[in-house]
Amino acid sequence: MLNSKPVVVLFAVGLVLIGFALGQYLGSPSGPVFPLVPPKPAPEAPVYPGPRPTAEFPARAPAAAPGREYAGGDLAKTLRELDLYTRAADLLTQLQTLGPEAVPEVKRLLADPSLDLGGVETDLLVRFWASHEPQAATVWAMHEAAPAYSTGAILVATEVWASRDPQAAAGLVALGSVNAGLASPVAETGLIRGWYDSGQPGLEAYIQSLGITFERQRALKVFARRAYLRDGPEMLARWAEAISDDDPKFKLDAFRALAKVFADVNPSDAVAWCEAHCDGPYGRSMRRVIATRWAYRGGEAAMNWLAAAPEGTERVQAVKGAYRGWAQGDREGLRRWMRAKGLDGVEPYLYPAVQNFATEIGITDPVEGLQWAAILEVPKRRQNTMVNILRRWRGRDEAAAEAWMAQAGLSEEVVERARTPWRAPRKGADDDSAAAVEGLEDGGEALSETP
């Protein structure tokens, strides 16, 4: 009888070896291990028996060197001039010598993809085309001009067309047969300019027919600017003053349009216009309009002008408008001017600006902002502005804001409101805490009278 002990031992050793092998198989991160197969050699690059082929192009004339003098030639050659100034000058000179027989060539060049036309060349070519075929050029500009240059092409074409047949041009603009975006107001601008230049009647009636809309306000501004530059401020003022009182909204829009243009072109004219009408029946908000636009380029002069304005809501709004305009045009200059006055040197008329200044400064320097807010004389405005600054501060650094409030001697109401995050009021709710952001709204409001 065989001894079973060695058999058991061998069987146990076999199980151990099998378990070890299974462990290596299952425990390997990459699965089973197979013998390595040598990689296939990379395919060799094709070898050409002779020289490699090269593309050949037909010979062409070299581009003209920048700065050459105009020596005539066809339009296509002119448009391939490398230097922009020379190209524009050559093109203008050449177009002035051509007649309607050149229209087909101009149309072909505008659609030629091999030409790298810019805005200047496009505008000149479209203007020439419109001088002979105004409607066709306008339709092309509205629907086929390259997007990058369609705005200028539309403006040029509609202006030329309206200067010859404003009623026909107005019909196309009124149909809204223009591209999306800025095309419609651009076409309207060209229409107003060209119609004014034509001297034909009906322009005022057309603008008035636009109704109480932003489009009418824009059209009046374009009209006023054109009239100012062509005929001067006195003629423009006499026109506005002669508008019938039967349509007071239209007359008010016209008076404001003049205020904008006067402030943009010559603030002295704006001051004269305001002295005559700001406190009259059609002067509502005109002082604010003038101050906002004037301050964009001359903040200190505009603010000093408002110092002598009559007290009241109109001046308050004008000071706020001047602050916004100055901040857009020269924010650092405005800050230097305010700080130069100092906390003890602020005249009462500037308090509306102080409210905005404190709120703005308080975003980055809450302590300074709170110091400016503290000089506001009206308790509600002072508290609202301080709460506004403190809420922002607590949102960034609660411990520092709380430490400042603990030693500032604030009322319990102000402290409680400062600790309450602001929420927009429910529609119809009478929540006075919503008024706490009055200063922020003034400071953050978009400039409605953008210069």
Q: 56-78 pLDDT, tens per residue?
A: 656 655 544 443 443 335 899 99
Residue type for 110, please? L
Largest CA distance in the chain: 138
Q: Between 146 and 124, where is the model more confident?
A: 124
pLDDT for 331-360, tens place per residue? 999 999 999 999 999 999 999 999 999 999
Distance, CA of 139 to chain centre: 27
The confidence score (pLDDT) of residue 40 equals 62
Q: Compute the C-alpha angle 266/267/273, nearest 5°.
A: 100
Taking the C-alpha atoms of residue 409 and residue 412, their distance in angstroms, rounded to an integer, is 9
Interhelix angle 214-231/248-265, nearest 10 degrees:
50
Work out the percent of the chain whose per-residue pLDDT is above 90. Answer: 63
Please give the pLDDT value at position 59.
64
Distance in angstroms (rounded) separating the CA atoms of residues 208 and 239: 14
pLDDT of 450 reads 38
What is the torsion angle, in degrees rounded to the nearest 10, for the CA atoms of residue 86, residue 89, residue 95 and residue 96? -150
**What pLDDT, on a 0 to 100 scale, did the predictor assign at position 341?**
92
Place of tokens 């105009």: 70
Distance CA 138, CA 159 (A): 9
**Which pLDDT score is estimated for 172?**
83
What is the sign, positive or negative, of the torsion defined by CA atoms of 292, 294, 297, 301?
A: negative
Amino acid identity at 378: V
Q: How far apart are CA 384 and CA 417, in angstroms?
A: 9
Predicted confidence at residue 437, as pLDDT, reads 31
* Distance of alpha carbon 79 from alpha carbon 378, whole angstroms: 66
Contact of 263 with 294, CB cutoff 8 Å: yes
Q: pLDDT tens, 132-162?
A: 999 999 999 988 898 889 999 999 999 999 9
C-alpha–C-alpha distance, residues 208 and 187, integer Å: 18
Dihedral angle, C-alpha 161, 167, 169, 174, nearest 10 °: 160
User: Per-residue pLDDT for 392 more than 60?
Assistant: yes
Ranges 2-11, 118-127, 186-195: which has the least confidence:
2-11
Phi-psi region of 29 (alpha: psi -120 to 50; beta: other; left: phi over 0): alpha
Show the DSSP H helices in 60-182 as ranges.
75-79, 84-95, 103-110, 119-132, 134-143, 150-164, 166-175
Q: Which of 308, 279, 276, 305 is nearest to 293 (CA)?
A: 305
Cα–Cα separations (whole angstroms), residue 123 to 27, 156, 352: 75, 7, 46
Mean pLDDT of the chain, nearest integer: 82
Instruction: Give the model's pLDDT for residue 62.
Output: 53
